[in-house]
Amino acid sequence: MKFFYAIPVFVLLGVLFHVAGAEVYVPDKEYAGYFDHDGIYAVYGSVKNTESQPVIARVQVTVNNGNETFSESRILPVIYSLRDMPFKFTFPQITSGSPTLQNPAVSFIPTNSSPLNIEINYDRTLVKYPDGHLTGYITNTGDYIVHNINIYALVHDRNNKYLDEVENTWTIPSLGPENKTEFAMYPDPTVAKQVYYYSCFIPGTDSSVEMSTPWKDKPFYFSVLSIVYFTNQKFDENSNSISFDAANPWQIPYYANFMFPEGSSSGNFEVSIDGSKIKPLISIDNDTKSWHVAFNVDYGQHKVTISGFDPDYVPNADEYFYLNAKSALVAWAGLSAFTISDSKLLDVLGIHGQYIPPWVKNTVGFMVYNNLPADDVISEMKYLKQAGVIK
């Protein structure tokens, strides 16, 4: 899942990560920039983890262009021992000139995350096409459901030069044990004709954990992104709050980012740790229609309470409330590991209705396999609603 914060959550992380040495780094030959098909400067690379345990890494990319300097940072999915994690940044502010890349800054924190049992099927189903794009399948070889899966890879030309970092064109919302599903990757059109092969296929997730607690005799679903362990969640209808037992096993503070359905609150959240109020960062994610409540948790065992929920809210029994528009379209069209109903898709897209003609799914398939924007399909659905076809 991708987040767009009104207030940068990464402000919390400045003191949490330590600077990487030679053990977690970006190799020089896997770090470069170019102007993409839309004329926007893009920077790609790959972080290599030679540590003996998984890490969560933050990479910061800085670009000089004339007298201006631009810098972006991002926390990457968990990088397992002796593995790489590709990344790509775009700088919409840079559309001309002669940009100069500075050395990337990488910092990391060790984690005890279990291996992600998602494997690429290296067989005849992994196909690169003449236009440079690639399709293949992944399989869940574990014994639990994995949510929000992305596949990352680097592409090369015939001379083994790195050309670009690519990701699957749609996030795979869910994949159950022993199930497999298809993915597709499209390089930027600027370099597509030069693509000779793909390497470094890496499955990753945003490491968020789905949670629930009874509220009004219904399950209230939400999620948290953190390596702090939160257990024994309980909703108190008298104070409209959720309490947790929190355990941070690391010798430093670490952040927690809770994501709650948009309708569950007006945003006036309050957080207390061991009875003392703290000031969280609160923002709204318009893509996933969820509130983000982020704060630090110190080392050790704590009692955490989050209040500010709307007493009139009725929990939605549909656990996939966090779907964004594109993943919802993919699931509804039967191109994912699970499906959702017509009414649920329309709810995610903000369209009032209960029925969509089955033939509209062909449009979604065209969107996926031709790498078209989800907004094109949404616009079509809004037109069909106005015309009375969607009811």
Please, is 24 exposed, middle or buried when counting C-beta atoms within 10 Å of its C-beta (0-12, 13-18, 19+)?
buried
User: For residue range 188-203, what is the model confidence (pLDDT) as tens digits?
Assistant: 889 999 999 998 888 8
Which residues are paired to 89 by β-bridges? Answer: 43
For 379, list phi and psi in degrees, rounded to 5: -60, -40
Write down the pLDDT at residue 323.
59
Write down the pLDDT at residue 339.
65
Question: Identical fold at 118-204 and 208-307?
Answer: yes
Write the CA distances from 58 to 47, 155, 184, 312, 318, integer angstroms.
9, 22, 26, 39, 33
User: For residue range 87-102, what is the model confidence (pLDDT) as tens digits?
Assistant: 888 898 999 999 999 9
- Is the pLDDT confidence value at 127 over 90? yes
Write down the pLDDT at residue 206.
60
Helix, strand, or coil here: 143? coil
User: For residue range 334-353, what is the model confidence (pLDDT) as tens digits?
Assistant: 665 456 788 888 887 888 88
- Is the pLDDT confidence value at 33 over 90? yes
Write down the pLDDT at residue 6.
31
Please report how the helices 374-386 and 325-332 are oriented relative to each other, as an axis angle in degrees rounded to 10.
70
The C-alpha atoms of residue 172 and residue 220 are separated, in whole angstroms, by 23
User: Would you list the domain boundaries of the chain?
Assistant: 9-110, 118-204, 208-307, 325-386
CATH number attached to the domain at 118-204: 2.60.40
- Is the pLDDT confidence value at 263 over 70? yes
The C-alpha atoms of residue 229 and residue 301 are separated, in whole angstroms, by 10
Write down the pLDDT at residue 209.
66
Diameter of the chain measured on Cα atoms: 66
Helix, strand, or coil here: 90? strand
Dihedral sign (CA 120, 122, 123, 129): positive
Write down the pLDDT at residue 337.
45
pLDDT band of 317, cuts 50, 70, 90: low
- Is the pLDDT confidence value at 360 over 90? no
User: For residue range 304-315, what is the model confidence (pLDDT) as tens digits?
Assistant: 999 999 999 988
User: For residue range 321-333, what is the model confidence (pLDDT) as tens digits?
Assistant: 445 677 778 778 7
**105 residue type, one letter:** A
- The mean pLDDT value for 111-117 works out to 72
**370 residue type, one letter:** N
Percent of the chain exceeding pLDDT 90 equals 30
User: For residue range 210-249, what is the model confidence (pLDDT) as tens digits?
Assistant: 677 899 988 887 888 776 778 889 999 999 999 999 988 6
Mention the CATH class of domain 208-307. mainly beta
Which residues are paired to 212 by β-bridges? Answer: 221
HEC states along 22-73? CCEECCHHHCEEEECCCCCEEEEEEEEECCCCCEEEEEEEEEEECCEEEEEE
- Is the pLDDT confidence value at 1 over 50? no
Go through 151-177 and write b for each residue having 16 or more CB atoms within 10 A of its CB, e for each that does not.
bbbbbbeeeeebbbbbbbbbbbbbbee
Please, is 263 exposed, middle or buried when counting C-beta atoms within 10 Å of its C-beta (0-12, 13-18, 19+)?
middle
CATH 3.40.720 given to domain 9-110: no
Write down the pLDDT at residue 53.
82
- Is the pLDDT confidence value at 34 over 50? yes
Average pLDDT score over the chain:
82
- Reported as type and span, the H/E element at residue 386 is helix 374-386
